[in-house]
Amino acid sequence: MSSTKDIREAVEAELTFDPLVDATDITVKNINGDVALNGTVPSYPQYLEAAAAARRVEGVKHVHNHLSVELQTSDYRGDAQLTTAANNALAWDATVPSGVEASARGGNVTLTGTVNFGAQRTAAELAVSGLIGVRNVRNEIAINFDADPGDVTVLVQDALDRNALMVDDSEVLIDSAGNTVTLTGRVRTWAEHDAVIDATWMASGVYDVIDDLVITG
């Protein structure tokens, strides 16, 4: 699949096919595999799922999610109510360590606190993303784990070497500056891309990941 029209139509079809997305008010633009999603969706999970659906389409290299969440009247939650619900969700999730807190304003949830691993940071975001009344999640959780940058590079490379989704012709380069990992190079699919990102965040000592990978399709 190579033409602009074909990719756009395929993304539109995938959005319509996905039962977790109401694609009624979504428009799709494509320029050489750079896909932009515009319009509105009625919930934050649909905002996330729409981007995931677009990434599943062959030929899509980048997804720019410009969708906004317009909650239905019945889904609005006051700041205090949503803050309480978000903190309860964090407290009840066994994968989220204590010390992570949430605050809400106008449906926008902000997460703060400190964890030891990137996977815990991701778990906290997932814990609140599906709550009714959420329009957006801002993850400001810090990662507090002291590791030598050289060790970080080795840990990430070993994780990628073990990953079943990484194929021999994938070319991922890892560069650690402090405890920030920059990923460059090429992968064939979004599945490989996501596997690389997830594996990188799981390594001890990773504070931040800069994603400069190119999806070749």
pLDDT band at 95 (very low <50, low <70, confident <90, very high): very high
Mean pLDDT (the chain, rounded): 89
What's the predicted TM-score (pTM) here? 0.79
Q: State both tokens at 154.
A: 């080795």
Cβ–Cβ < 8 Å for 39, 67: yes
Which pLDDT tens digit goes with each residue over 161-181? 887 666 655 688 888 777 788
Q: Which domains does the chain have, with CATH numbers?
A: 4-69 (3.30.1340.30), 75-143 (3.30.1340), 149-215 (3.30.1340.30)
pLDDT tens track for 68-84:
999 999 999 999 999 99
For residues 90 and 156, the model is more confident at: 90
Contacts of 217 (CB under 8 A, 6+ apart): 33, 58, 59, 60, 61, 188, 189
